Amino acid sequence: EFVFDEVARLVETCDEVEAEKDESRTVAERGKEDRKMLPIYAYRDELLKHIEENQILVIVGETGSGKTTQIPQYLQEAGYTKRGKIGCTQPRRVAAMSVASRVAQELGVKLGHEVGYSIRFEDCTSEKTVIKYMTDGMLLRELLIEPTLGSYSVIMVDEAHERTLSTDILFGLVKDLAKARPDLRLIISSATLEAKKFSEYFDSAMIYPIPGRRYPVEKLFQKCPEPDRLETAIRTVFQIHQTEPLGDVLVFLTGQEEIETAETKLKQRMKDLGSKSSEIIICPIYSNLPTELQAKVFEPAAKGTRKVVLATNIAETSLTIDGIRYVVDPGYCKINSYDPKTGMESLLETPISKASAEQRAGRSGRTGPGKCFRLYNVKDLEATTVPEVKRANLASVVLTLKSLGINDVYHFDFMDPPSDNSLVKALELLYALGALDAKSEITKLGERMVEFPVDPMLSKMIVGSEKYKCSVEIITIAAMLSTGSSIFYRPSKNQQYLADNARMNFYTEKAGDHIALLRVYNTWKEMDYSSQWCYENYIQSKSMRRARDIREQLAGLLKKIGVELTSNPDDLDAVKKAIVAGFFPHSAKLQKDGSYKRVREPQTVYVHPNSGLFGAPPKKWLVYHELVLTTKEYMRHVTEMKPEWLVEIAPHYFKLKDIEEAQPKKTQSRRSKSTKSLVLKVDTNKKAKR
Ligand code: ADP
Ligand code: MG
């Protein structure tokens, strides 16, 4: 049955353009001719002229018009690559990879040769590379190594409207760089939003609009949104499948988990329908999807079948998938939010903005008239999304800026400045970690931490492992925490207990999740990195191979900063201390009701149900990797520790009273208040035991 209110139909009028009727060609067959079909092609020469004449150019154009894939090629054709590389940044890893692979294909070159990409922990470029796609975060890192970006002739900051933290920081840095390098060309490109703001920020840079082709999109919305968004979305997909003419469907979901659930449910529903319904092909796309599967989403559906793309908001503007005629939009996305008051960081499912809603709807009208099914009322949405710089933990970028010699971060040329409070928090954390000194200047330790492309707490843990002679173990743990996807495989319901049993085999010491990750890796290594072993033990072998790759890179970086690889396999306390050296701000103590309270902070937090310590006899003190907010504030990846380590490792951060409070029915020691000396601390602890 229809869940949509027919009366509320809206039809947008837009210029209609002759549709491309050539559906039979495969991606591989697309070549030069295809490039000429893109809206941007008509403006090629004019565009090049403006780039030549304007050092900074703001380009706005409808998504799918060809900005990302074509402009770097035009620049190459015009000879810019003779002076240096063309760098193009993307806020998302998948976009960088996918676009690079497309451009390599169009140019008929091998990916990684003339055209390459660079994302964290994965460099697919070579000496030959002249067109380089990369995440915005990677260009920030390149600035650390090459502050003038001397090897580049053009930098294109693409998808600028996304306003990611790294993009915003890049804005300030490249704006400054343009003054020092008159030969450098800067292109700021974005989907239609905010162009004026970009232009103003870049000293009234010229705005060059590229008209796109757009067909009318009929928008239908639900008057009374239902609570189960996923279920409604799935029902809508089937409703489209059974009542609408052929054409592919794009469903916007919040993340990998939701996409996987949707995939399972869709397949089940297909089975139930049996032969009554024609086939649908399900194509997921999200940032951790294995590379081999990413290409599938661009393959046209076979004749008579319908492709259903399940995507995160990566498909909103970063990626354009041809053939979409229907968009199902539940109206949510995951954004990270950080509360500087509490230092809590979490990924939250949040309603999208009106601007996003428009973009999403537009995806159905690229190659013909489209329909967008909105599972919400657009009136309830905010106009635009708050830029990440206003809602992110700034510790990592502040450290990068300090390392670039930008000491006064308060006066950095932010397009939208963050709150003073969140800058203060970032500085405080970096100071506590030892990355900044009392004058707020970067320390030797800070410089070493910057070498690692990970958050400051993790890099402190890695660099800090030198002291405890366990760098071998620590980089394994760090790599296992950085794969971006789960290590343990959770099968469907009836097999879950088998997987859980297998997982508990790695918790022999019952010390916690970090140690278990170490055990998993080491056992896998003993088994000659066998994927069969992974399969038998409910371990994701893809994640493991990625961990091995990351680990190798971390080992290389340790070597670079002169830290020897030393192993301390029999001293788990050393490993735990190194973890605490980086993550002491994430320590928590047990409370009477079984929950935990963050040390020095008022929040109550809980052990994550996926932790091996969940449901086990509770440990008094834990250090955790991160907090995730779902129904509660959950600590993900926890490991037990000793409270005295806190004052030993971070005496400037913790006072004795912080660790004494949790010890039951004990009178406050008068001596503890007057001093924070280590000897004294051990004394009081002994007393506590008596
Ligand atoms: P814009 O950056 O203006 O949004 P793009 O340059 O990303 O536009 O896209 C131009 C065209 O290239 C679109 O038709 C899109 O479908 C196609 N395209 C981009 N990446 C790929 C890919 N990996 N595989 C197949 N087609 C692609
Ligand atoms: Mg693009």
Rounded to 5 degrees, φ, ψ at 437 are: -95, -175
d(CA 150, CA 164): 24
Which tens digits make up the pLDDT trace of 503-547? 999 998 889 999 999 999 999 999 999 999 999 999 999 999 999
CA of 20 to the centre of ligand 1 (A): 15
CA of 134 to the centre of ligand 2 (A): 13
Strand partners, 190: 60
**Cβ(98) – ligand 1 distance below 6 Å:** yes
State the average pLDDT over residues 125-147: 97
The answer, yes or no, to whether residue 410 has pLDDT greater than 60, is yes
What pLDDT, on a 0 to 100 scale, did the predictor assign at position 675? 35
CA of 68 to the centre of ligand 2 (A): 4
State the average pLDDT over residues 110-131: 97
Nearest to 637 by CA among 649, 623, 619: 623
Cα dist from 420 to 344, 385, 585, whole Å:
17, 20, 20
d(CA 377, CA 358): 13
Q: Is 373 exposed, middle or buried (0-12, 13-18, 19+ CB in 10 A)?
A: buried
CA of 637 to the centre of ligand 2 (A): 36
Residue 572, classed as helix, strand or coil, is: helix
Strand partners, 124: 117
Q: Encoding tokens for residue 670? A: 């008068």
State the average pLDDT over residues 366-395: 92
The answer, yes or no, to whether residue 549 has pLDDT greater than 80, is yes
State the average pLDDT over residues 472-497: 90
d(CA 318, CA 18): 24
**Cβ(69) – ligand 1 distance below 6 Å:** yes
What pLDDT, on a 0 to 100 scale, did the predictor assign at position 682? 31
Q: Encoding tokens for residue 220? A: 């239908």
Q: Is 249 exposed, middle or buried (0-12, 13-18, 19+ CB in 10 A)?
A: buried
How many C-beta atoms lie closer than 10 Å to residue 592's C-beta?
6
DSSP 251: E
Which tens digits make up the pLDDT trace of 672-685? 433 333 333 333 33
Atom of ligand 1 nearest to the CA of 321: 16
DSSP letters spanning 119-170: ETTEEE--TT--EEEEEHHHHHHHHHH-TT-TTEEEEEE-SGGG--HHHHHH
Query: Which ligand is nearest to the Cα of residue 161, counting in written order?
Result: 2
What pLDDT, on a 0 to 100 scale, did the predictor assign at position 690? 30
Nearest CA to ligand 1 atom 22: 102
Atom of ligand 1 nearest to the CA of 159: 2
What pLDDT, on a 0 to 100 scale, did the predictor assign at position 342? 74
The answer, yes or no, to whether residue 227 has pLDDT greater than 90, is no
**Cβ(396) – ligand 1 distance below 6 Å:** no
Which of 22, 69, 187, 309 is the pocket-test mutation for ligand 1 (most atoms within 8 Å of CB)?
Answer: 69
Query: 400 CB contacts (<8 Å, ≥6 apart)?
Result: 140, 141, 144, 169, 450
Are 385 and 358 a contacting pair, CB within 8 Å? no
**Cβ(63) – ligand 1 distance below 6 Å:** yes
d(CA 645, CA 182): 53
Nearest CA to ligand 1 atom 6: 66
Q: Encoding tokens for residue 258? A: 């939701």
Higher pLDDT, 682 or 239: 239
Nearest to 95 by CA among 312, 346, 342: 312
Nearest CA to ligand 1 atom 17: 320
CA of 26 to the centre of ligand 1 (A): 14
Query: 650 CB contacts (<8 Å, ≥6 apart)?
Result: 432, 584
Query: Which ligand is nearest to the Cα of residue 64, counting in written order?
Result: 1
Mean pLDDT (the chain, rounded): 88
Which tens digits make up the pLDDT trace of 323-365? 999 999 999 999 888 888 777 777 888 999 999 999 999 999 9
Query: Which ligand is nearest to the Cα of residue 65, counting in written order?
Result: 1
Higher pLDDT, 278 or 416: 416
**Cβ(105) – ligand 1 distance below 6 Å:** no
Q: Which amino acid is at 427?
A: L
The answer, yes or no, to whether residue 21 has pLDDT greater than 70, is no
How many C-beta atoms lie closer than 10 Å to residue 127's C-beta?
5
Atom of ligand 1 nearest to the CA of 62: 3
CA of 630 to the centre of ligand 1 (A): 35
The answer, yes or no, to whether residue 272 has pLDDT greater than 90, is no
Q: How much is the pTM?
A: 0.88
Atom of ligand 1 nearest to the CA of 322: 16
Q: Is 292 exposed, middle or buried (0-12, 13-18, 19+ CB in 10 A)?
A: exposed
State the average pLDDT over residues 598-616: 91
Higher pLDDT, 677 or 292: 292
The answer, yes or no, to whether residue 43 has pLDDT greater than 90, is yes
H or E segment to which residue 641 belongs: none
Task: Pick the range with the lowest mean pLDDT from 119-133, 163-177, 456-470, 665-679.
Answer: 665-679
Query: Which ligand is nearest to the Cα of residue 67, counting in written order?
Result: 1
CA of 66 to the centre of ligand 1 (A): 6
State the average pLDDT over residues 33-47: 92
Q: Encoding tokens for residue 109? A: 């070159």
Query: Which ligand is nearest to the Cα of residue 159, counting in written order?
Result: 2
What pLDDT, on a 0 to 100 scale, did the predictor assign at position 569? 87
State the average pLDDT over residues 274-286: 84
Buried residues in 466-503 as b, exposed as e (16+ CB within 10 A): bebebbbbbbbbbbbbbbeeebbbeeeeeeeeebeeeb
Q: What number of H helices and E strands is found in the chain?
A: 25, 22
How many C-beta atoms lie closer than 10 Å to residue 56's C-beta?
21
CA dihedral sign of residues 242, 244, 248, 251 = negative
Q: Encoding tokens for residue 616? A: 């086990």
SS3 content of the chain, % helix, strand, coil (to 5): 45, 20, 40
**Cβ(189) – ligand 1 distance below 6 Å:** no
The answer, yes or no, to whether residue 26 has pLDDT greater than 90, is no
Question: What is the interface pTM, i.e. ipTM, of the complex?
Answer: 0.98
Atom of ligand 1 nearest to the CA of 65: 3
Which of 40, 102, 189 is the pocket-test mutation for ligand 1 (most atoms within 8 Å of CB)?
Answer: 102
The answer, yes or no, to whether residue 278 has pLDDT greater than 60, is yes
Q: Encoding tokens for residue 534? A: 């992974």
State the average pLDDT over residues 573-595: 96
What percent of the chain has pLDDT above 70? 91
Strands (E), 469-620: 587-590, 596-598, 604-607
Question: Checking DSSP bridges between strand 621-629 and strand 587-590, what pairing results, if any?
Answer: antiparallel
Cα dist from 333 to 347, 349, 417, 443, 662, whole Å:
10, 5, 24, 38, 39
State the average pLDDT over residues 587-612: 93
Nearest to 446 by CA among 428, 431, 468, 466: 431
Q: Which of 3-7, 128-132, 335-339, 377-381 has the highest mean pLDDT?
A: 128-132
**Cβ(64) – ligand 1 distance below 6 Å:** yes
**Cβ(320) – ligand 1 distance below 6 Å:** yes
CA of 69 to the centre of ligand 1 (A): 6
What pLDDT, on a 0 to 100 scale, did the predictor assign at position 155? 98
Nearest CA to ligand 1 atom 27: 102
Which of 320, 322, 363 is the pocket-test mutation for ligand 1 (most atoms within 8 Å of CB)?
Answer: 320
d(CA 606, CA 142): 39
Which tens digits make up the pLDDT trace of 166-210? 999 999 999 999 999 999 999 999 987 678 999 999 999 999 999
The confidence band for 87, taking pLDDT boundaries of 50, 70 and 90, is very high
What percent of the chain has pLDDT above 90? 72
Placement of tokens 């397949």 in the chain: 267
**Cβ(298) – ligand 1 distance below 6 Å:** yes
Atom of ligand 1 nearest to the CA of 61: 3
Placement of tokens 């990797």 in the chain: 625
**Cβ(101) – ligand 1 distance below 6 Å:** yes
d(CA 430, CA 449): 10
Are 141 and 171 a contacting pair, CB within 8 Å? no
